[in-house]
């Protein structure tokens, strides 16, 4: 889930970047790391240059059994092409075991620094005394991205995020990509730098919308564009978009989709006792919402819209494989 | 749950105790700590001397939402008198919040050193680098009490068990008693010593059946008897006892109940998706079992048997309050 993708807002982040030293440090980091030519992804994947490529991504795997079961149903029916696991959550092992038994599934790490529900909680996978800046007084992750941004010490966040990736690998899975739960790794320039660094260290594609490069100085944006397969468009349903008919905003997104790399994020679960209990007092992205997203992605209407709009479904795995191939050349 | 209350068996534990130095150390500890006269509990609580006192105890609160909801239903209907919380579990906060809002509920700490289900996991509440002897390669508690007994370093177990009690207190609850998930604090003489020490440190009653004092040298047994309110009889349904009619073994226990302090442990939940998923591949004490235990404790037949056999229901809170009163005298 990325409920507040940039919790501080663009303007705040821009202001932060005006701080000269930080800008310089970030620029130097990115320029040193990202120096290749821009990629033409569709062609590199063997599709026509102007293809509308679409990743349909299920967030929050591992959060609950209800989420896992719904994601497995969506994988089976072709309603999603990939998803990512919240490693610190109690049901992560169920999902990683399933992925181990179904190695063709396209699954990444949903880098997690928040525990946002009121009564169902988790902390980090690292030793808690080594990540105390990430934990509240009760030993759980903070509820909001704002609190993460305020309290997180960069070194501790990096340690925890690496531990999450390493744990998935230790479970016997090769993650296909990295993305971010509630956008928490985008909560500060330091965290963004860590996120980019992890992509480089593990040689994995990451969720990073092209629009966000506008927050950076032009040279940094250019460097990013030349190294990362940026998302040309990211669509995630937000409360304000909801109309009577659940599929309408998705229909609009699919109908208006442009050539390039697109991603639709969905939040799946069953509207059952477990998910109702998890999301009590929290309708947005709660159990009813997730059941509706599930019903939609497995519907004929949704798959019909994809076909009717000449959209090519891909997963992060294809991009990850491409990166591996490029690196070995 | 106390699936294997003494995993090593009586004989093994007796053999262990023959180790002279350990016996001596344990004896010295217990003799130093437990030196009062035996208690006549029924009279101290204001009941006739030969009363059949019965605690009906729900284990495993906090394990899942399903368990919490079932325990709340059983509290509301008077089917249980008390229960205890597994503090490291993801749903502990839901239960502690409920208890904070319902302070008359009689709730203790279900000291936990195991994570026994196959796909739904937790570790300790302490920093994992400080309790590495309690954790498996994946960072979770071991699945079995045998593994706890084999790997646990006493100091690390003590740190974790104290942290569980302290966390419940930090959540704003005064626990009424301590008991043990799967009997894991009884997995070795060192762990038993820690368990007795925690009872003393927090001045809380503990689950400790009188029968188990026979494992100790007579002087130790006598000292234990004079200090702790020992359970004269503990009944917990085991797989071998199950007949066609779920209530039969409970009926036998209630009908044959003797004067003194008795406890019946039940394992409650709904047989719903969440609990089915948690207990998959694990019928004993699984979701069907727990639904049957729930249906039974809230049934008229169960409450009728209690009345018909002149059994007086009490909770650990009355014993805890008595200990507090005695200490202040």
Report the distance separating Cα B99 and Cα B187, nearest Å.
30
Picking from A54-58, B23-27, B67-71, B189-193, which range would have the lowest pLDDT averaged per residue?
B23-27
Q: How far is A96 from chain B (nearest CA, A)?
A: 10
A139 and B125: CB-CB below 8 Å? yes
Contact in structure between B268 and B70 (CB atoms under 8 Å): yes
CA distance linking residue A310 with residue A287, whole number of Å: 32
CB contact at 8 A, B130 and A127: yes
In Å, how far is A207's CA from the nearest CA of chain B?
27
In chain B, what are the helix, strand and coil shares in percent, each to the nearest 5?
A: 50, 15, 35
What ranges make up the beta strands (E) of B86-187? 107-111, 178-180
Burial of A69 (0-12, 13-18, 19+ CB in 10 A): buried
Q: Among candidates B219, B154, B225, B211, which has minimal Cα distance to B23?
A: B219
pLDDT for res B187? 84
Res. A139: pLDDT tops 70: yes
pLDDT confidence of residue A86: 98
What's chain A's average pLDDT?
A: 89
Q: Exposure string (b/e) for B133-161, b if CB count within 10 Å is 16 or more? A: bbbeeebbbbbbbebbbeebeeebbbbbb
Tell me if chain A has a CB within 8 Å of the CB of B138: yes
Q: Is B170 on the interface with A (CB under 8 A)?
A: yes
Beta pairing, strands B233-236 & B107-111:
unpaired
Judged against a pLDDT cut of 80, whether residue A26 lies above it is answered with no
pLDDT, one tens digit per residue, over B26-83 is 544 444 444 344 458 999 999 999 999 999 999 999 999 999 999 999 999 999 999 9
Q: What is the ipTM of this complex?
A: 0.85
More confident residue, A217 or B277: B277
Contacts of B89 in chain A (CB under 8 A): 90
User: Per-residue pLDDT tens for A125-137?
Assistant: 999 999 999 999 9
| A249, A60 contact by CB (below 8 A) | no
- Residue from B73, B87, B112, B127 whose CB has the most chain A CBs within 10 Å, to mutate: B127
Q: How far is CA B31 from CA B24, B37, B147, B191, B232, in A?
A: 10, 12, 30, 17, 21
């Amino acid at each position: 889930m990325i409920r507040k993708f940039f919790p501080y807002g663009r303007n705040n982040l821009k202001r932060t970047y005006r701080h000269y030293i930080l800008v310089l440090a970030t620029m130097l980091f990115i320029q040193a790391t990202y120096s290749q030519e821009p990629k033409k992804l569709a062609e590199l994947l063997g599709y026509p240059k102007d293809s509308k490529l679409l990743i349909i991504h299920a967030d929050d795997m591992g959060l609950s059994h209800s989420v896992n079961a719904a994601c497995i149903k969506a994988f089976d029916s072709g309603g999603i092409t990939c998803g990512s696991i919240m490693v610190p959550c109690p049901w992560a092992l169920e999902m990683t075991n399933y992925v181990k038994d179904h190695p063709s599934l396209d699954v990444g790490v949903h880098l997690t620094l928040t525990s946002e529900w009121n009564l169902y909680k988790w902390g980090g996978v690292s030793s808690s005394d080594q990540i105390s800046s990430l934990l509240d007084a009760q030993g759980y992750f903070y509820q909001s991205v704002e609190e993460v941004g305020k309290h997180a010490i960069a070194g501790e966040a990096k340690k925890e995020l690496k531990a999450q990736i390493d744990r998935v690998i230790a479970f016997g899975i090769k993650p296909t990509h990295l993305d971010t739960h509630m956008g928490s790794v985008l909560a500060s320039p330091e965290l963004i730098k860590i996120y980019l660094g992890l992509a480089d260290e593990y040689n994995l594609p990451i969720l990073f919308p092209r629009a966000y490069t506008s927050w950076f100085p032009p040279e940094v944006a250019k460097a990013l564009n030349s190294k990362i397969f940026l998302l040309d468009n990211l669509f995630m349903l937000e409360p304000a978009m909801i109309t009577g008919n659940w599929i309408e905003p998705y229909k609009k997104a699919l109908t208006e989709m442009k050539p390039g790399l697109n991603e639709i994020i969905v939040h799946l679960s069953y509207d059952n006792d477990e998910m109702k209990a998890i999301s009590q007092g929290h309708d947005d992205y709660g159990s009813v919402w997730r059941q509706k997203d599930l019903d939609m992605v497995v519907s004929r209407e949704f798959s019909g819209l994809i076909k009717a709009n000449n959209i090519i479904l891909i997963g992060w795995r294809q991009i990850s494989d491409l990166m591996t191939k490029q690196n070995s050349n």
